[in-house]
Amino acid sequence: MAHTDVAHGAHPAGTVSRARFLHQAGLGAAGVALGGALPGLLNPGSANAAVSFAGGTLHVSYWTNIVPLKDLLAVLNGFGKKYGMTVKYDPLPVDFGDDVTKLTTYLSSGYTGLDVLWLDDFMTASFGTAGWLEPLEVKISKEAFKAVPPATVKLSTYNGHIVRLPANSGNVVFFYRKDLFDKEGLSAPRTWAEVVKAGKRLTKGGVYGLGFVGKNGNTQLFNELSYWIGQAGGDAIHLKTSAARTTLKFIYDMLHTYKIMPPDTVTNTYSTLQTSFQQGHIAMWPTWAGILGPLLPGAKAGNTKFPVYGKTEIALPPRGPRDKSSITASWGWSISKFSKNKDMALKFIEYATMPQSEVTLALTGSEPARIALLSNPTVQGTMVQAKYDAMYNKKTTLRSRPITAQAQRISDVMEAVINRYLNKQISLDAAINDAQQRIDQIQRNA
C-alpha cells in the first residue's frame, strides 16, 4: 500500500512526495526535545479493539485511505479478542513525508509507545540501519518468509538481520492499450526494439507510444531507471556501466530521436501520466500495478468514466539487452526496538500475516505479499491487478530496487542530473560522471 513510487494498493496515484524523507538514518533527533508532546503527533485513532485491559495495550501503526475501517478493525479486534487485550490503531499520515517525519521523531527519541510499525522499503532501510527495529529472523517461522517474494525479503534485511515481515507487495507491470494495438495489427512488444517499433506506429492523433516519468525530486524517476536499467543487467546507482549507459541512451532516443514519448516527459509524474493514460493519450506504460489496475477488464464499474476502461491490458516485460525482469516493492510489519510489548507485537505480526488476515486487509487496499493469496477470489475481486502480479511472480524475474539507508539522498542527486540529461542540458558522459560522483560521495560519507 504505497504512498508514492510503490503505487499498488490503496493509494495508486502516487501523488505525494518523498522530498521530505530523512536524508540519513538517525535524523529527526529534534523529537527528543518534544518530550511529552510525542503522543500527540500521530493523533491516534479512537478505534480500540478493547476486550480486556488485563493484557495491556498494544499500539499498531498502519496506513489506509479506505473508509469505513471495519475490515482493518476486524483484524485488530480479532487479535484483541484472542489474547484478551486492547489494541489501539495509530493511523499513519496520508502524506509519505509526514509519515516518515513522525515515525522518525518517535524512534529517534526512544519513544516506547509504538509497538508494531507499518513500513515501506525506504523506511525499513533507514530505520533498520539506525538500529531502531527488532530482528525477526529467529522469531518468525521460515515458512512465513518463504511465502513472499524473495526480493521483498531482501528489502527487509539490514545489518545481517531481517527486520520486517513483508505483508503487502506489488510490481511494475507493462500496461498497454490493447484496442490501439489491435487496430494497428500489433501484438504486445516482447523486446525493446519492438517497443520502439510499436511506439512509432501508435504515436499519432494526440496519442504517444510510451509513458515515462521524467520529473526529478520524488523518487519516481529513480523507479523508472531501476526498471529499465535492470533489464540491461545493471542498477540505478552504478551508472558507469555499459548497462546504465545503454539504457540512458535508449530512453533519450525514445524521447528525442524516435519521439514516441510526450514532449513534456521531463515534467511528468505518476499523477500526470495516470491522467494521460486514463484519457487515452498514452499507449504503453510500465508502472506499478495499482496505478492503472482500475482500468483493466473486470475492474469495478465505477471506472467506466475513463475512455480506456476495459481496453487496457498487461503483458510481460519486454526483454532488454539482458532479460525481461521487473521491479517489486513492499510494505510490511516491524517491531520497534523500544517497544515494551515485543512478545505481544510478535504475536500480532504472526496473526496479521495469517492468510485470512491478509485477505481481510486486502479490503483496506493492501495487496497481499503472500504469493499464493494473489489467486484468492476475494483479493482478485478487490484488486483485479492481483492476478497479473501473480503472473509476474511466476513468469518473470522480480528484482528489488537498489535501496540502502542513503537511497533517498542518492535518488535525489541522481534524478536531478539525469533529468538535465533528458532535458538536453548536458551530455550523456557529463550526466553519468556527475551523477556517479555525487552518489559515491554520499556512500563514502554515510
Tell me which of 32-46, 88-102, 313-327, 357-371 is least confident: 32-46
Q: What are residue 168's DSSP bridge partners?
A: 331, 368
Residue with cell 482500468: 295
Q: Please give the DSSP secondary-structure letter assigned to residue 257.
A: I
pLDDT at 304: 86
pLDDT higher than 50, residue 268: yes
Q: Read off the pLDDT of each residue in 179-192 and give the average, rounded to a whole number.
A: 98
pLDDT at 2: 37
Mean of all residue pLDDT scores within the chain: 88
Residue with cell 492503472: 292
Q: Under a CB-based contact definition with an 8 Å cutoff, are residues 420 and 414 in contact?
A: no
pLDDT at 53: 34
pLDDT higher than 90, residue 52: no
Residue with cell 551530455: 427
pLDDT at 376: 97
Secondary structure (3-state) at 171: strand
Residue with cell 508494531: 116
Closest CA relative to residue 295, chosen from 1, 6, 12, 4: 12
Per-residue pLDDT band at 55 (split at 50, 70, 90): low
Q: Do domains 30-170+329-400 and 171-327 have the same CATH topology?
A: yes
Q: pLDDT tens digits for 205-229?
A: 999 999 999 999 989 999 999 999 9
Domains of the chain: which residue ranges?
Answer: 30-170+329-400, 171-327
State how far the Cα of 187 lies from the Cα of 315, in Å rounded to an integer.
Answer: 10
Residue predicted with more confidence, 192 or 95:
192
Per-residue pLDDT band at 15 (split at 50, 70, 90): very low
Cα-based distances in Å from 108 to 19, 25, 29, 331, 385: 20, 9, 5, 21, 37
pLDDT at 408: 87
**pTM to 2 decimal places:** 0.87
Q: Report the CATH fold assignment for 30-170+329-400.
A: D-Maltodextrin-Binding Protein; domain 2 (3.40.190)
Q: pLDDT tens digits for 24-47?
A: 222 222 222 222 233 344 444 434
Residue with cell 498502519: 62
pLDDT at 5: 31
pLDDT at 22: 29
pLDDT at 159: 87
pLDDT higher than 90, residue 19: no
Cell of 92: 499513519
State how far the Cα of 209 lies from the Cα of 223, in Å rounded to an integer.
Answer: 20
Q: Read off the pLDDT of each residue in 136-161 and give the average, rounded to a whole number.
A: 94
| CB-side neighbour CA atoms (13 Å) of 113 | 19
Q: Read off the pLDDT of each residue in 392-418 and give the average, rounded to a whole number.
A: 94
Is 171-327 a CATH 3.20.20.70 domain?
no
